[in-house]
Structure 1
Amino acid sequence: MVTLLRSVWHEPRPANVPPVGRLDWILVGLFEVAAVAEGMFRPDVTWRPFVTLIAMVLMPVLLWRRSHPLVAAVLGWSLAGLLSVLTLATHVGDLGLTSMLAVLILLYALVRWGAGREIVVGAAFVAAVAALGMCAADVGWPDVFGGSVLLLLICALAAVFRYRADLWDRQQREVRNQERVALARELHDIVAHHVSAIAVQAQAGGVLAAVQPEKAAEVLAAIESEASLTLGEMRSMVRLLREEEPVDYAPPMGLADLPALVRADSPPRVDVAVDPSLTGISGPVDAALYRLAQESLTNARRHARDTTRVRIDVRRVGGAVRLRVSDDGRTEPGAAPTPGFGLRGMAERAQLLGGSFSAGPGPAGGWVVEAVLPLDPPA
């Protein structure tokens, strides 16, 4: 019990507390009308003008139930407690209006929206006022039991909705975290590809500057173009990571964009072959195939030795599509790929779509990257 109270005591207030809206004002208005109507048409209530005034003062407190749950609960239940004290002191008849049950909404709001300390303090105060009211009404044990169960049920209902809202918030945060990981993967693929092309151009420029100085300007222009493109795509990805900034989403790259990976002005030579029957495949698979091919080509340019040709082959295999990227570079006997961020990212892409991924030396030399993705991936 002590452990439970300690955990509740340190519970923070829920995030995203809704502001006062039109429905809140309508709720207050309905309760005000109900209080006035009871004051006019219930002759059994003692001190009707005074009790009606107390009820009308209570109703606007409902507007604070989410922003200041403890203050609203204490004020509302204090007014109910005042009527109980007057009943005990004067021994008069019934001083309560049915509309005063609005205090139950304040109890619900206390548990639903309050911080842990507010819940503990407010619940203790509500329990004391409820006990005072039962004494003033001189009810029997069945009524005491029923009233206590009602208050506990209201608290339990509020706790259930609070837990569901917290669970929803955690799920949303998890989704955002997964989106950030995916965006980080995209950023790595984009930057690695373009920076690799810049490095190749710079190496070629160093050679041409000595033997063909007039070609150096062309190489520098190509480097400038690649750098500008990289910077633009990086800025787009960074804007996606900032939730507060609106972003115009562009359609992702796909199989139709694979020919753009071919560069006649920089080695190695890239050949692209796409099965013409691959039409109408899902967007996630289409985008994943492009990113996998792009990253594989980047790795071939950066890490393969003496590579002169890279072949990108995309084929339909039953109900799946197979991407195979191979190069003719030299490999050391027994060499194995080092699992860096790029390889891990490619494997994650394939696994998220229910596919498979492999990378390693090819049987005829060079390196082979192969991914098999289902045409109809799981949701």
Structure 2
Amino acid sequence: MATHALRSLWAEPRPTNAPDRGPRDWALVAVLICWSLVEAVLRQDLAPRPLLLLATLAVLGPLLWRRTHPLVAVAVSFGTLTIVDLVRILTGSQGALLNSISAALILAYALFRWGSGREAASGLGVMLLWLAITYVADPMSGWKTVAGYAFFLFAAALGAAVRYRTKIRIRDIDHAKAREREQLARELHDTVAHHVSGIAIQAQAGRAIAASHPERAIEALATIEDAATRTLTELRAMVGVLRAPQDTELAPQPGVADLDRLAGGVEAPHVQVTLSGELEDLSPAVGAAVYRLAQESITNARRYARQATRVSVVVVGDAEGVRLTVDDDGAPSTAGGRTAGYGLVGMRERATLLGGWLRAGPTADRGWRVEAMLPRGGSAR
């Protein structure tokens, strides 16, 4: 996993959402300038003033664009510091640089936080080169040398860790959004397919009996109007969720208690719903899933089951979970007719997300059966 993470960081391009310099960056630079001025006044063991000024500008200036151009900032800063130290070595200048140049640690962090993998590798080489030269210009004991390298490597590692954590967080957010879109697509499919199938059947029935039984045709039109109204209401609710920025009040999702809505009706096949067992205190996700799975199964039966006269919906609850069984007595329109589209795929996906399972297929004698088992306390995964 660590190897995969390193490869991801190496191949990943520079983030495009890095914030530009703002008031905080200018405030940071102002504080460091004040620190440098105080240090330059109080300390007596410093290098010549031109070298101090050049080294200070080399660290403070690039801080302003460390997020948008991290490699350039590191190259300018540490490249200039390297030149300053080489001049000190070649000229034999005595004195140390200002402690305020330790702000270069911020550049090391920024390189691994905002730079791409290749930029980080290139910038790290520039930093290590400067560290080797600066310890020649300012000889230190062994433990101080090790501590200096450790500080810069820690800053770089911290930047890489924050970068990787941010990347994982963004990916998790994208996955959550994708799951929401999938759930919405299933809800739209279930709602529209069920109601529109009923509307189509009622329209066909009304047209067939319009001449001989006008009053029944009027009843069919009333049923069509009612189904269309419910469909529009549910669609508006779901589209409203997409448009609302936050704190949207959602209408309750249908559950097991609403399964009776699917029963009856004048259209064929006749739907019969039977509820038994422990069906109280189900989680809202499980109740809504049972309703949607039954609704989609009935819709598929009306679409694909030829000459079907009945659809039986049986829901049985116990201490462990809820079992849903939907049977029809029709013949499938084609050998694989019921496996087409997103209907069964969405049903299996919905059941799996709740920790359950779903099976669908022809029965031994005639008809089609859908079986699903969901845990009582299932929650979307």
What TM-score does the superposition give when structure 1 sets the normalisation length? Answer: 0.79
Q: Call closer, same or farther: CA 1:160–1:107 in 2, change over 3 Å.
A: same
User: Residue 272 of structure 1: CA displacement?
Assistant: 2.9
Change beyond 3 A, Cα 1:195–1:7:
closer
Counterpart of 2:210 in structure 1 is 209
1:192 positional shift: 1.6
The residue aligned with 1:290 is 291
Q: Distance in 1 between matches of 2:19 and 2:261?
A: 49
Which residue does the alignment assign to 1:339?
339
The 8 Å contact of residues 312 and 326 in structure 1, kept in 2 or not, is answered as yes
Contact 2:279–2:318, Cα closer than 8 Å, also in 1:
no
Q: Distance in 2 between matches of 1:322 and 1:201?
A: 31
Give the match's secondary structure for 1:96.
Answer: coil
Cα deviation digits, residues 189-220 of structure 1 (max 9, x gap): 22221221122112112212232345545534
Residue 68 of structure 1 is matched in structure 2 by 69
Residue 122 and residue 356 in structure 1: after superposition, are their counterparts in 2 closer, same or farther (change >3 A)? closer
Q: Report how far residue 368 of structure 1 moved.
A: 3.1
The aligned amino acid for 1:155 is A
**1:78–1:364 CA distance, 2 compared to 1 (3 A):** closer
CA distance in 1, matches of 2:19, 2:291: 43
Q: Amino acid of the residue matched to residue 268 of structure 1?
A: P
Query: What residue in structure 1 maps to residue 270 of structure 2?
Result: 269
- CA contact 1:197–1:226 (8 Å) conserved in 2: yes
CA–CA distance in structure 2, aligned partners of residues 210 and 45 of structure 1: 107
3-state SS of 2:346 partner: helix
| Counterpart Cα distance in 1 of 2:76 and 2:312 | 76
The RMSD of aligned alpha carbons is 3.8
Q: Which moved more, 1:136-145 or 1:119-128?
A: 136-145
Provide the secondary structure at the position in 2 that maps to 1:280: coil
Query: 2:85: which partner in 1?
Result: 84
CA contact (8 A) 1:83 1:96 kept: no
> 1:71-127 deviations in whole A, cap 9, x for unaligned?
322343345345424523543322411121111210221122112453344334334
Verify the 8 A CA contact 2:45 2:96 in the aligned structure 1: no
Supply the distance in 2 between the matched residues of 1:318 and 1:280 (Cα, whole angstroms).
Answer: 11
Q: CA deviation at 1:343?
A: 2.0
Q: Is the 8 A contact 1:8 1:120 kept in 2?
A: no
Q: Is the contact made by 1:61 and 1:76 (CA closer than 8 Å) also made in structure 2?
A: yes
Q: CA deviation at 1:132?
A: 3.8
| TM-score for the superposition, normalised by structure 2 | 0.79
The one-letter amino acid of 1:298's match is: T
> Aligned partners of 2:88 and 2:173: how far apart in 1?
51
User: Structure 1's 149 and 336: CA in aligned 2 closer, same or farther, altered over 3 A?
Assistant: same
Q: Find the residue that maps to 2:339 and give its secondary structure.
A: coil
Alpha carbons 2:279, 2:317 under 8 Å: kept:
yes
Give the fraction of aligned pairs with identical amino acids, expressed as a percent.
Answer: 43
Gaps of 5+ in 2: 1-5
Distance verdict in 2 for CA 1:21–1:265, change over 3 Å: farther
Counterpart of 2:112, as a letter, is V
Secondary structure, counterpart of 2:164 in structure 1: helix
Larger CA deviation: 342-351 vs 199-208: 342-351
What secondary structure, in the 3-state scheme, does the structure 2 residue paired with 1:210 have? Answer: coil
Which residue number in structure 2 is paired with residue 55 of structure 1?
A: 56
Aligned to 1:251: 252
Q: Say if 1:236 and 1:52 are closer, same or farther in 2 by CA, change over 3 A.
A: farther
